[in-house]
Structures are given as structure tokens and as C-alpha cells.
Chain A
Amino acid sequence: MDIFNGLLLGFSTATTLSNFAYCFAGVLLGTAVGVLPGLGPIATISMLLPFTFGLPVDTALIMLAGIFYGSQYGGSTTAILMNLPGEASSVVTTLDGHQMAKQGKAGRALAAAAIGSFFAGTVGTLFIVIAAPLLASLALTFGPAEYFSLIMLGLITSMVLTSGSLLTAFGMALFGITLGMIGTDINTGAARYTFGSPYLLDGLDFVVVATGIFGLGDVLMNLENERLRVVGVAPVSSLFPTAEDWRRMSAPILRGTGIGVLLGVLPGAGVLLASFSAYALEKKISKHPEQFGKGAIEGVAAPEAANNAAAQTCFIPMLTLGLPGTATMALMIGALVVQGVQPGPEILSQQPALFWGLVVSMWLGNLMLLFLNLPLVGMWAKLISVPYHFLFPTICVFMAIGVYSINNSVFDVYMMALFGVLGYFFKRMGAEPAPLILAMILGPMAEEYLRRTLLISHGDASVFFTSPLSLGTLVVAALLLLSIVSPRFRKVREEGLQEVD
């Protein structure tokens, strides 16, 4: 199917009344939950997941994508107005965005973020339209060795790009792989780590673990310093960027978009890397680097554009290879599997309406966000100031109902409670859970492809180095690991990834 027909199909899928309505509902709900302080995209998606269960698969995916953009965007609003990043990639937005808000320029910062995000979203979607079919047809030629190497690259990037030490991240990833091995071994049918429990035969539900660790764990963490959580919300001023603002932010938006589009495809943590690199680049080429961190509009526009462009293009490996690049995409895969869809290169040829409908609705969702956010920003600012003691019981109820209704299983509810405590423990021990989450999905895939590769080669591991594509991927992964040893990169990583909490 050529691109033009694909887009036509996509438009006809995305603009049916119900798909359009659910896209809107997703964007609206996602923003509403995403602006709440302390709720990043992962917690938001897992909380809102039950809203999609009763829907047909294309509608569900469109709504989920809407929730994802909405929550990501809502996070920027909180970052600017309250100096609270909902997730690591909005940390950069707080640097200059909140400074602008303090100087009474909150409206202009929000406008820069919204305009930058919309432009980047549009370019990102176009990039998916062109690149995804190419990559999907390339992916059909991939053997198990290539897949295995790509998975290794994803795991290593996620470890390198997380805050805290590499060793800790490595341990977290191994722990995640172990959790992923629970259940029936697909090759031999043997039950592994089930301890005789029938509930564990299908393995731990990934969504349950993510909800526990990111949702409940964050609630426990926030209650720790409940007294400290009283934070002021900056008042929102005029939303219109001045002519000077336009002049200063247009080039950064273009550059940020370019960085984001390219880095988003990288498996591992492309979104995070994109916003940090875009910020670093602007600071480096600016004639006034001293203004950065003190309210430079370039420092809001560029990373927000990069962030959003990467949030679009990180769908590419998920949809065309079935490999999640970020913890959020891993959650999307979890949601798709609940719906009975296995993402991978066949999705384009076998479910073109699903693929193209999603792509078109991404652009529509971004358009909606632009119109939702700017005029309604006052409403979101009010929502931010809902006190936490009203918020967290509601969050707990939504998560409990959501987790229960995935499999109608009370066991899953208990597991969520357990992983909530574990999530709290990890945070307290300075261990970022993102590699764990990604490894839980990627680990079993890695085992599967490793087995297949070595079965074909009769146990000879040299195939990973004789296929040029596999070799290239492994070299990139090795370079990434080496780069962390270099003192210069290490310094940048430590400065960049410090969590401003």
C-alpha cells in the first residue's frame, strides 16, 4: 500500500465519529490527569487503561495514544507552573520554563511549549508516515540475530540514560528480566518460578507491575514528604508570544524537532536523550548562554519540540519491530496485548487501518492539544492546585479498579500492592525503575531470539558478529557503554540526568 492510500485509509479511520470522539476524550483525560503533580505518563496511562477495555482495538489504541500525548503535555504545564517535572524528560523544561513563570511570563512559556510541540508533532507524524513502512519492510528481512542485537541496544541505552549509577541500572534490568521469566516457558512448556501457583503460569502482568511501581510507589513516595508538597502555582499571564519571542524561538523549534525526530527512533530512552540534547545544543550555539537557566525562551521551545517529536517517533520501533523504546511504549505494548494485538512488522500489512488510523489520529491529537491547552490553560492551572490529600485516594481507587479489570483477577490487585512497596523501596535506594520495566518486556524477547539464533547456528555465537546489521548494532551498544566510562560524557550525564525533584 502506498503512502497516499495509507493516509486516505488513516483519515477515514481516524475521523469516524467514535474514533474522533475517543481521541478527543483521550487527549482531554490524559491532560487532566497528566497536569496533576506527581503523575507522569506511565502512571496516567495505567490509571486510565480501563477506559479503553470495552473499545474496539483501533479506537482503544487511538485513545491510548491521545492519553499519552495529553499526559506528556500536561506534564509540561506542571513543570512550567510548579517546577515539578512529571517525568525525567520534563526536567529540562523546568529549568527555563519555571524561571519564565517566576518572571510573570508563564503564558508565553506555555505558548512556546505548545507551539513547539505542535510543530514537532506534525513533523514527527510525517516522519512516521515515510519511515515506518520502510523500516517495517526492512524488519521483515531481520533474522533472530538482528532482533537480539537490537534488544541488547535498547536495554543498554535505557541503562546508560537513566539517572544514578550504571551498576544499579544493570541490576535493575537483570531483576526486570528475572520477573519477565516468571510463567510458562514458551519453548519447552516448563513452568518457571511459579512456585506451584496457577496465577503465575501466564506470568506477571506487565501493566500490574508498572502500575504498582510507578503509580502506587509514587503515591507512597509523595506521602513521605506530605508536608513539603505545598508548592505554589505561578499565575498565568498573557499567552501571546511577542514578535521577539517568535524570532527567538523559531530556529530552536526547528533544531529541536530535528533532534527529536532522529533520537526518538533510538531504542532505549530516545525521548529523554532528545530533550537533553536539544537543550544542550541551544545553550552551546546561543550568543547568550548565560541567559539559560534564567528564563530563556529557547530553553523551553527547543526541548519541548524535541520531546514531542521523539514522543511521536518512538512509536516507530514499537509498531514496526514490536520493540518498545521507552517504559511508556512498553506499557502501550502491554495494552495492545490485552487487546489481542501483537505489534511487529506484520501490523502494517495485516492491520493497515489500525496503523494508518493511529498515525493520522496522532496528528489530530496534537492539533487538539494546541486548541485545548492554550485557551483552557486557566482551567488546568486550577486543576493543578487540587490538594494532594484529595488526589491520592482517587488515584489509588482508579489504579485498583484498573488493575483488577485487566484479568478480573484479585491476585493482580495484591501484586500491585506488593510492587508498590517495591517501587517505594527502589526510589529510596536511589534506583530508577525505568530499566526494570523495559527489561521485563525485552528480557523474554531476548531469550526467545537468542534461542532461535543459536538453534539455527547449532550453538555458534559468532553469527551475531557475521551479520553486518547485527554487528553494527552491537558496536553502537558497545560504544554507548564505553562512552559512559569517558569522564566528559560522565559529567554531562550526571548534570543532565540529575532529577530535580
Chain B
Amino acid sequence: MKLSQDVLLGLFFVVFGVVSVSVAMSYPFGTSGRMGPGYFPVIISSLLVLTGLLVLFRSKFVQPEILPAIRWKPLLLIPGAVVIFGLAVETLGLPLAILLLTVLTAATSIKFHIGWKAVAGSLAFAALCSVVFIELLGLPIPIVGSWLRVLGF
């Protein structure tokens, strides 16, 4: 079977559906008049499996579209940078977390190069955002994170 949009999507639906059917089977099913927590999930995820199979079946008849090459760098780096932001926001504080996120995401661009302008710009951006969100909007996010406080900042 050649990889095409339909094959990948169909497989996604089937795999996800099979997992959720098998989980849903462990919940009490109940009756139509008194549905248990498993009733609706079993129906919905069985339909999902069925739909996935139909999508797979359809892929046999549709001329597969050529999947363009994936640019892996942004696809890995951007979600990675968001995860790092999540790790840093409480431990290092908002300004540093923003700085990390800005620099790491910007690094995925084909236009990226490190220069004093880029450094100054991202520092200023991190400071500005911290002021706007913490001071002006009053969001409860630490400026100095828990790790830095331990170190005595």
C-alpha cells in the first residue's frame, strides 16, 4: 500500500478508534434507558474505526496525491520550544521563558541569524511582554522562577 493522504488519515482514525473502543469497553455499558459511562464512547469510537476503514478503502480508488517533503526543522523545533517554555515558565520565570521561546522559534526561520540586533530585539520583547502581561494585565505568572529564587535572586 502506497502512503497517501487517505492511508495516513485512515490509519490515524483506525488506531485512535481501536484504542478508544478498547478503553471504553472497560466502562459499564448500561442500557439505552439508563446509559452507563461506556455507552456513548463505545458507539462513537466504533463509528470512528468504521470511518477510518472506509477512508482506507477509499484510498484504493483515489489517485494518491504526492506528499510534499516535510520540513522537519520547524515541525520539531517549534513544538519543542513550546514545551521548553512550559518547563521554564514556573522554574525560570516569564521573561526568561519568553526569551527562550522567541529565540528557539525564530531559529527555525530561513532568515535566522544571530546578531546584536536580534539579541537586543528579543530581550526587549521579553521585557515588554512581561510588563504587559504581569504588570498591566495582572496575570499570576512568576517574574522570577522557583529555581532562581532558590539560588537567591
Contacts and interface: CB of A to CB of B under 8 A. Distances in A.
B110 interface: yes
Interface in A202-235: 216, 219-220, 223-224, 226-227
A174 interface: yes
A461 B32 contact: yes
Contacts of A404: 86, 89, 141
Interface string A391-434: 01110110011001100101001101110110011101111000
Contacts of A454: 32-33, 35
Interface residues of A, number: 65
A418 B20 CA distance: 18
A416 B79 CA distance: 8
A482 interface: no
Nearest to B107: A393
B111 A397 contact: no
A394 B125 contact: yes
Interface in A449-498: 450-451, 454-455, 457-459, 461
Interface string B99-131: 001100110111110000000000001000100
A392 B35 contact: no
Contacts, number: 189
A185 interface: yes
Contacts of A165: 58
Interface centre among B13, B68, B74, B82 (most CB of A within 10 A): B82
A168 B13 CA distance: 10
B49 to A, nearest CB: 9
Contact of B139 (A53, A167, A457): A53
A170 B50 CA distance: 11
A167 B111 contact: no
A320 B87 CA distance: 41
Given A171-B51, A414-B83, A420-B78, A459 B31 contact: yes
Contacts of B139: 50, 53-54, 401, 405
A413 B83 contact: yes
A410 B84 CA distance: 10
Nearest to B89: A404
A223 B133 contact: no
A414 B79 CA distance: 8
B106 A393 contact: yes
Majority secondary structure of chain A interface residues (helix, strand, loop or mixed): helix
B102 A168 contact: no
B9 A429 contact: yes
A483 B83 CA distance: 45
Nearest to A223: B74
A122 interface: no
A387 interface: yes
B45 A410 contact: no
Contacts of A429: 5-6, 8-9, 12
Contacts of B96: none
B16 A178 contact: yes
Nearest to B138: A54
Contacts of A397: 98, 101-102, 105, 125, 129
Given A50-B133, A50-B137, A401-B129, A417 B110 contact: no
Given A192-B37, A389-B109, A396 B101 contact: yes
Contacts of B51: 167, 170-171, 174
Given A171-B48, A429-B8, A416 B109 contact: no
Contacts of B28: 188, 190
A175 B48 CA distance: 7
Contacts of B6: 429
B71 A224 contact: yes
Contacts of B111: 387, 389
18 contacts: A50-B137, A171-B52, A187-B35, A188-B37, A192-B41, A223-B78, A224-B74, A388-B109, A389-B112, A397-B98, A401-B139, A404-B86, A413-B82, A413-B85, A416-B82, A426-B9, A431-B9, A447-B40
Closest 4 CB pairs of A and B: A459-B33, A413-B86, A459-B32, A223-B74
Interface of A: 50-51, 53-54, 165, 167-168, 170-171, 174-175, 177-178, 181, 185, 187-188, 190, 192-193, 216, 219-220, 223-224, 226-227, 387-389, 392-394, 396-397, 400-401, 404-405, 408, 410, 413-414, 416-418, 420-421, 424-426, 428-431, 443, 447, 450-451, 454-455, 457-459, 461
Given A396-B82, A410-B86, A450-B35, 10 more contacts: A53-B139, A171-B9, A174-B17, A219-B74, A223-B109, A227-B110, A394-B125, A417-B79, A429-B6, A459-B34
